[in-house]
Structure 1
Amino acid sequence: MLSFDPVFFALAIPAVTFAGISKGGFGSGAAFAATPILALAVEPATALGLMLPLLMLVDLATLGPYWRKWDGLAARRLILGSVPGVALGAMLYRLADPDLFRLLIGGIAIAFVAWQLSVRLRLVRFRARPFPPAAGGLAGLAAGFTSFVSHAGGPPVAVYMLSLGLGKTAFQATTVLTFWVINILKFGPYAAMGIFTWDTAKADLMLAPFALIGAWLGVRAHWLVPERLFFAITYVLLVLTGSKLIWDALG
């Protein structure tokens, strides 16, 4: 049973609003932080079931502003890779150690940012090139799996797309499209596994306005923030989410 007390709402309202802002304007990488915040007040599986409908609501709210602004090829590679990733997550949800994957994804995210900074600061000499096409499928696989077990699929997608050198709106639109599909793929297995309950449904109804407010703020921020600052924020969020994943894994 969920306890709809002041502590729950004190944690849930800012967490859900932040997830909406992140997904609506800054590539969704940090949106997963809402789940561990909620897990301070409810069981982890309950936090997953509570967040998914809200994430899907934000997906719907942000598809319109970014419609057809995505990179179709990058989105296709990520989505195709995510299908077996979600299936693997469903099969291994109760068996796999999610901390191992949190550690790997977090380490890759931080290493990627460190590498990019070293290139930009000319600490190493390297001709930047996009990852090969297969990397999109691998990033989608990792995103599908980690998104299923912890809603933490943002970092693999961000690492892959940052390597492509997309503009900020193409980057954001591709992320929105990719996770719209991934979250739809997750819904059926979540329902079959009993992750959704009447309590999570009631919580979603109460928290939906805050998710939508966050999505609106995120979209507004996206158009107002200059491109250079947008990617600086993206790198910072990638480091923060990577660090949080490592902290959770080792904690």
Structure 2
Amino acid sequence: MTAISFDPLFFAVAVPAMIFAGVSKAGFGSGPAFAAMTILALVLDPAVALGLTLPLLMLVDAVTLRPYWRRWDWPAARDLIVGALPGVALGAALYRIADADVFRILIGVVALGFVGFRLAVHWQAIPARARPFGSRVGLLAGAVAGFTSFVSHAGGPPVAVYLLAGGLGKTTYQATTVLVFWAINIFKFVPYAFLGIFTADTMLGSAVLAPAALFGAWLGVRAHHVVPERLFFSLAYAALALSGAKLLWDGLT
């Protein structure tokens, strides 16, 4: 992997990227947080960006657990976390050979299709679902999230599709995503270390950018409590649509 050049261009790109990731993870369901990886890839090798961002994402997870403690939907979180374990294991096994673009395309299509479905229900073009998705869908969403989170920190859209269908309140939704990604990121840490994704440069970069990530988390928690529930979910669906479109674009190009 290439070394990190700690020059003004690096900080001009990396600091806003990590503030954005902190705000997204701490306040708005984690969906668009993976965009930080895309932004960092402008100045870093993708593998370096993976190693740099994981400790920062784990830091944000740790500091945002307390504000949302036990406010999550445990059955939904449990299904997603259990499903994520084999997804992370598969990501570790196939990391060197997996074509992440195929999964980006599939997730992008599902995310955009789900947003389209919810808009159609809102406009009464089709009837609403009688009940949320079941545990099997939760396990599958967790597996996909575990895999895509491992290879590109892009586990947000599968989790969002499953949770948004459940009709949760905004804080329950947010707390559930915090718990799920706290677990998934812990699952990823040891395989990342064995695969050599962490280096002295990435650890130094994580330490340097930690204040930006923490500031973003602080902003995100406060923004979550200020934004009305209807606006929150409008933003969540917009974030899902944008992240799905970005994944589809990245996969195709």
Q: TM-score band, normalised by the shorter chain?
A: over 0.9
Structure 2 equivalent of residue 161 of structure 1: 163
Map 1:102-251; keep pairs closer than 5 Å. 102-251=104-253
C-alpha RMSD of matched pairs (Å): 0.7
Matched, 1:22 2:24: yes
Structure 2 counterpart of 1:66:
68
Q: Distance in 2 between matches of 1:133 and 1:2?
A: 42
Q: CA deviation at 1:125?
A: 2.9
Aligned equivalent of 1:86, options 85, 88, 92? 88
User: Which residue is 2:45 aligned to?
Assistant: 43
Aligned length: 251
SS at match of 2:224: helix
TM-aligned CA deviation for residue 95 of structure 1: 1.1
Q: Output the CA distance in 2 between the equivalents of 1:71 and 1:190.
A: 29
Deviation at 1:124, TM superposition (A): 1.7
Report the alpha carbon displacement of residue 128 of structure 1 after superposing the two structures with TM: 4.0
| Structure 1 CA distance for aligned equivalents of residues 232 and 165 of structure 2 | 15
Farther-moved stretch of structure 1 (94-103 vs 121-130): 121-130
Following superposition, the deviation at residue 133 of structure 1 comes to: 1.6
User: Which whole-Å CA distance do the structure 2 matches of 1:26 and 1:229 have between them?
Assistant: 11
Structure 2: segments with no counterpart, 5+ residues: none
TM-score normalized with structure 2 length: 0.98
Task: Tell me the secondary structure at the aligned position of residue 67 of structure 2.
Answer: coil
Shift of 1:126: 3.8
Give, in whole Å, the separation in 1 of the partners of 2:33 and 2:50: 13
- Structure 1 alignment gaps of length 5 or more: none
